[in-house]
Structures are given as C-alpha cells and as structure tokens.
Chains A and B, each alone.
Chain A
Amino acid sequence: MSLEPRTDPNPPTAGPETPAKGPAIDAQALHQEILDLGTQGMVMNMGPQHPSTHGVLRLILTLDGEEVMACEPMIGYLHRGLEKMAERRPYRHFLPFTDRLDYVCSLANNLACAQAIERLAGVEVPERAQWLRVALMELNRIASHLLFLGTFGTDLGATTMLLYAFREREEALALLEAITGARLTYNWIRVGGLPDDMPENWDKGVLAFCDLLESRLPEYDRLLTDNPIFRRRTEGVGVVSPEDAKAYGLTGPTLRASGVAYDIRRWAPYEKYAEIDFDVVVLRDGDTFARYLARRLELEQSVRILRQVFDKLPEGPIASKVGKVLKPPPGIAFSQVESPRGELSFTMVSDGSPNPVRVHIRAPSFANLTVLADLVAGNKVADVVAILGSIDIVLGEVDR
C-alpha cells in the first residue's frame, strides 16, 4: 500500500445510510475481501436424496466453511405432469390424481379440485356435505401439522418429537380411515358433495380425539416449544418481514408468522367456514420459531373448529345430483382453499367440452419455496435445515 494521498478516479458515492449497530468490523466488506482473494466456496449438493429436504428437493449450496453463501433450489424431480394429465380426461376423473399433490393433506387437494369444478359448472353442495367437508379438512390439517411438528423436531435433532406427534397422528389417520377407507390418499370429496355419509359414532370418535389432542399439546410444549436449545436454534433465524412475505407470495402459516392476516378460511370463506368461530393465528416475528409456533397454535384452532362442526351438523343429503357427463359452460374459474401449507388454488378453463382446456394448480409449497434461497444466504448449514423445515413444503405439490 502506498502512502500517497489517495486519488480515486471513481469517488465512492454515498451509499444508503446504514444504522450504526452490530460489530465494528463490516462483515460484508470482509466477506467481499475474502472473495476477492479468489477463494472459492465449496459447492455442496443437498439432495435430491437427503434426510432433511423433505422429499426430492435439491439445494445447491455454496459454502464458506459452515456458512451458506448462496443457495439455489432445484425442483422437478417429482414432476409427473399432473396438470397435463388433467387435460386428457373428463373433469371428475382428475380427482383421484389430486391425492398425489400434497400427499400429507390430500383432502385439501380433493376439495380445491372439486370446488373449481363446482364453480365452473355451477354445482351446489348440500349443507351437510359442506359441514362434513370442514370436519375432514380440519382433521386432515391436524394430521398434517402433527407431521410438521414431528419432522421439524427431527430436523433440529429432537427425534422424540416425531414419535410423540405420530402417536396422535395415528389417531387422526384412524378416524380418516374410518370414513374414507384410506390413510394417505383419501380421494373422498366429489363434485357436488361427498361419496358417502360418515360412519356411525364417527363424530364421537372425533370429539374424543379432540380431547386427547388437547391433553397432549402441553406435552409438546414442554418437549419442544419451551426448550431453550430449541428456542435458540429457531428464534431470530430466517426472518421474513411482512412486506417481503407479501412480495414473495407466501401463504399459510408461513405468511401469518410474519404478521399478515391472510387465511382463506376467513378472507374468502368457503364451505361453512363463515359460520364458524375461530381465530386466525397471526404472529409478529416472522422467524423460524414463529413459523413453528403458528402451526402449533393452529392445532388448537382446528380442535375448536371440529367441536363446532358437530354441534351444527344438519341432517340431509350429502351430495347433489350431478350428471354423468360434466360439460361446464366455457369460462375460467378458480378455487381457493386454505391447505395446511397455504393457499391452494385450482384454476380451470373450460371450452364447453367434457375435458378441461387447462388445469393449473397453485401449490402453496411452490410459492413458499421461492423465498428459501434469499432466507438461507448468510446462515449456517444447520439453519438451512431449520428454515426449510419451518417453511414446511411437500415436494408432491411443488413438482406436480
């Protein structure tokens, strides 16, 4: 370095004012300096086969030691062309395929698909079916959120949480099996209603399950929510501001954890959600812990909804008459369903023929995943797992 007075041909322009906080060393400048030396980051492939990418997500991480410099998510490993398949068969024949989207909560997919067809074709759904749909939705949401709690715990090394959550999820799946006959791919919602009524005493089983789940929630809190290590791993990690959350099109608990009250069940109520009293869980912090807590608290709301459903469940038919061949009038329609992961929306275009012209699935996981790359940059490798876990994606619907 010379001692001559510095004559910079391009005097640095005044950058945006940065508040004076944090360490005296400008970490970013230091980082840039290291990069200028020609040091290369280590490129690490996380996935498509990796225990914590929740399926076949592939993340190309550029690491500087333990720190992530850049992250590029690669998707499509599970692409089955479901939307294209939908174009080649009559409307209703696509319903079983939707089970394979978000396979953790397949009833939400069934419902979103059926709703889009109902709106396109103008089919009415009887009251009882609407209430039962709500019950199914919430029961499936509980199963899905319990899976999230378990896998999120495992992502952070608390393996016992998985077993605890699965213990209760088992009960929920047994109830769903009692009504649909399946434990994962239910395919139980039809255009215009449901294929069959609930079995006898099913409501009693659900209410008993609600009590059971409520009694077990404090156990989860003791094990995970209140654990200081868990808190330190998640609090302040991967913060999304409300503005960013909206600009990225996040939905579901991931968005509500950032302080934006957008829950389709309240915002554009479908089925009977308008007549149900429940709270939309909105948290302020927008960090990994808030995203976890949002789902944990939604369990309580789901229990609350389930209890109301069976108070108000009317007698009556469970399906309206729909013709064998469905030929909706030409037009475009979309459905909106609050799946456990966020806004699930089917957009359907009809030209009056028995097959749809186009079916597009707006998968919440797909939209939520867009924010990942920006969130993990600058964090540690271990945080990648925590943040990804807290976004709660299902690759079946990301790749479709």
Chain B
Amino acid sequence: MIAQALENPWIRQLVNAAMLLAVINLGVLVLIYLERKVAGYIQSRLGPVHVGPRGWLQSVADAVKLVLKEDIIPAPADRFMFVLAPFFVFVPVLAVFLVLPFSSGWVAYDFSLAALYVIAAGTVAIMGIVMAGWGTNNKYSLLGGLRSAAQLISYEVPVVLAILAVVFFAQSMSLVEIAEAQRGFRWFIFQPPLLVAAFVYMIGQLAETNRTPFDLPEAESELVSGFHTEYSGIRFAMFFLAEFANTFFASALAVVLFFGGWDGLPGLTGALWLVLKSYVLVFVLMWIRWTLPRVRVDQLLGFAWKVLVPIGLIVVLWAAASVVYAGGVAR
C-alpha cells in the first residue's frame, strides 16, 4: 500500500520534502556540534563535554532549550516584519536543498534550471535579513541588516560568475548533470579555469553565509549581534538553523560544482561521499572562521567589486575560451 501511495507524485514529493527536512535538521545538529568541537580544539580548549558522551547531545540540549524559551517580541518592534523575518530567512534555505542532488537518484526535485534556481531562491534570504533588521526597530539591527544587504548583493555577483563558468563546462544548468559530467575523477576542480572559479565561489560563499572574516552583519564586537540581536527562542533558532543549513548547502553545492559531486572511490554510497566531501569543506570554513579577524565594511565591498568580480569575469571568459577552443568540455 505504501508503494502504491508513493506512486502518487504529490505524496512522493511530500515524503521527499519531509525526509529532506529531517536530514537538514539532523545535519545541522551535527554541524553545530562539530563547529563547537572544532572551535574548541582550534582555541586549545575542549568544547562541550558534559551533555552525553563527549558532549554529543549538546546540540540537542541547545535545540530543546531554544524551543522552550520564551519568545520575546520587543515593544517598539514592527510586529509583522519581526515575526515574518525568520521565515524569510529559513524557507529559502530549505528551498535550495530541494534541488541538491545527494546521489544520482537522490534528489528531491531535479530540473534543468537548478543552478539558476539555487541563486534566485538563495537571494530571497536577504529580504528576511533586512526585514529582521528593520522590524526589530533597533539601530544595531538596522545597521546589521543594511550591511547584510550590501554584502549579499555584492558577493552574489562573483558567486554567479563562478557558477556560470562551471555551467560552461558542464553544458547544463541541471545540478545532476553537472555532477554526472565529473564522474570518474574528472572533477572540475582539476580544470585550471575552474580551480580559480572554485576559489572565487568559496570566498563568495564565505561572505554569503556570514562567516568570519565576512561576518559583519552579526559582528558581535560592533553590532552586538546585528540583525538577530533582539530575537530569542524559536525565532532565533530559525536564524541559527538557517545559518548552519546555509553553510552546509554552500559546501555541498561546491562539492557538486567542483569536487565531483557523489563521485568517489567504490565501497561507499555516492551520497555518503558527497556528505563526506561537504563536511571537509565545512571544516575548512570553520577553520577560516576561527583563525581570521573580521574585515571592515568598506574593505569587504571593495574586495568584492575590485578583486572578486574582475577575477570572476576573467574566469568566465577563460572558461568560455577553453570550452570553445581547447575542447575543455568533458563529454
């Protein structure tokens, strides 16, 4: 009967979505634990140790605490915006996971414009952050929201350029096909133009996921916590969840775009390879976060427009040239 029900495309999509949601939430819990442990070891301390064996359950405890906490809405806040903002941040992150292929058949929804969709859907989150900044009616949050808008829009450009270069090579916008094109260790990272593109992409994603050295929207030493200063309880949890889900997604997308997707040595399932490679990239992001100081807002924007965008443009031209003249296409 279950098999019969799954024949129905609606039910199948619902099941897919539910599974995805579970995977994301679980993944984020693991990620938070990892972040704390990695930060702990980088900073020569232990990280969580008390809740569960080796602190394994710390994230669960935190999640329970956040859910149970009182949900405070500041009196001068713009209630409508304030309440709505976390959803605007959270939902796009879920939406982009829809098209992320974990393995050849393991994708919730595969369509031919997935690469474009990822960019478009991801950008909606900026709205949520600006709404949070404005709706809180707090000057620190407002500054954080504005910084965030400027930053995300600026860094979207190099990221798009980097993805565009990949699309040239794969001759497709479907993430599944992009990954398929790299099977058998013909990863795009080994193509010189795309190696540069990968760097541009990772730096851009570092900024888009608001992580040090680009964590200006929530720079705790300047803006207290930026746009989510006044959020508490479940609403804060949504921002938190979105941030970590976004970090994971950025890494997973990088794996799909540059590191061969689920391609790996035989013995493990493809999906496991993808997750494993993503976690390696996430680790790199964490490593960067706990090592570098934060840049200033003018340096941040200057770097995007004066360094990354020109490099991105050159990479696009280079990629186009190698596809057309050098036969760089993999298939």
Q: Give residues in A with beta carbon < 8 Å to B.
A: 42, 44-45, 50-52, 63, 65-66, 153-160, 163-164, 167, 223-224, 227, 229-230, 232-233, 380-385
The interface-forming segment of B82-90, B95-103, B236-244, B288-296 is: B288-296
Indicate whether A385 sits within 8 Å of B221 (C-beta atoms), given known contacts A163-B45, A224-B293. yes
Partner of A157, one of B42, B147, B294: B294
A232→B295 CA distance, assembly (Å): 8
Instruction: Categorize the interface residue count of chain B.
Output: 20 to 34
B295 surroundings in chain A (CB, below 8 A): 229, 232-233
Contacts between chains A and B (CB distance < 8 A), count? 81
- Which chain A positions have C-beta within 8 A of B143? 44, 63, 66, 381
**Cβ contact within 8 Å between A233 and B44:** no
Interface residues of B in 192-215 (CB under 8 A from A): 212-213, 215
Which residues 210-235 in B have Cβ within 8 Å of A in the complex?
212-213, 215-216, 219-224
A157 x B213 contact (CB < 8 A): yes
B97 to chain A, nearest CB (A): 29
Q: From B294, which residue of chain A is reached at the shortest CB distance?
A: A157
- Give the distance in Å from the alpha carbon of A58 to the alpha carbon of B16 in the complex: 53
Whole-angstrom distance between the alpha carbons of A384 and B222 in the complex? 8
Among candidates A45, A163, A232, A382, residue contacting B222 with C-beta atoms closer than 8 Å: A382
B139 in contact with A42 (CB, 8 Å): yes
Chain B residues with a Cβ under 8 A of chain A = 42-45, 139-140, 143, 146-147, 212-213, 215-216, 219-224, 290-299
Contact of B212 among A66, A157, A163 (CB under 8 A): A157
Complex formed: what's the CA distance from A219 to B224 in Å?
28
Q: How far is the CA of A223 from the CA of B291 in the complex (A)?
A: 7
- Cα A34 to Cα B221 in complex, Å, equals 29
Chain B minimum-CB-distance residue to A53: B221
Assembled-state Cα–Cα distance A75/B184 (Å): 66
Can you list 6 A-B contacts (CB < 8 A)? A51-B220, A51-B221, A232-B299, A382-B216, A382-B222, A382-B297
Check if A167 sits within 8 Å of B44, measured CB to CB: yes
Beta-carbon contact of A52 and B221 below 8 Å: yes
* Cβ-neighbour of A154 out of B146, B213, B221, B292 (below 8 A): B221
Q: Which residue in A45, A52, A158, A382 is a CB contact (below 8 Å) of B296?
A: A382
Asked if B43 and A380 make an inter-chain contact with CB atoms under 8 angstroms apart, the answer reads no
Considering the chains assembled together, what is the distance between the CA atoms of A86 and B299 in angstroms? Answer: 50
- Cα-based distance from A66 to B301 in the complex (angstroms): 13
Chain B residues with CB under 8 A of A164: 43-44
Whether B292 contacts A158 by the Cβ 8 Å rule is yes
Given contacts A156-B221, A232-B299, A380-B297, 8 further A-B contacts (CB under 8 A): A52-B221, A52-B222, A66-B298, A153-B293, A159-B290, A229-B293, A233-B296, A382-B219
Q: When the two chains form their complex, are residues A158 and B293 in contact, meaning their CB atoms are under 8 A apart?
A: yes
Q: Distance in Å from the Cβ of A122 to the closest Cβ of chain B?
A: 48
Taking CB atoms, residues of chain A closer than 8 Å to B42 are 160
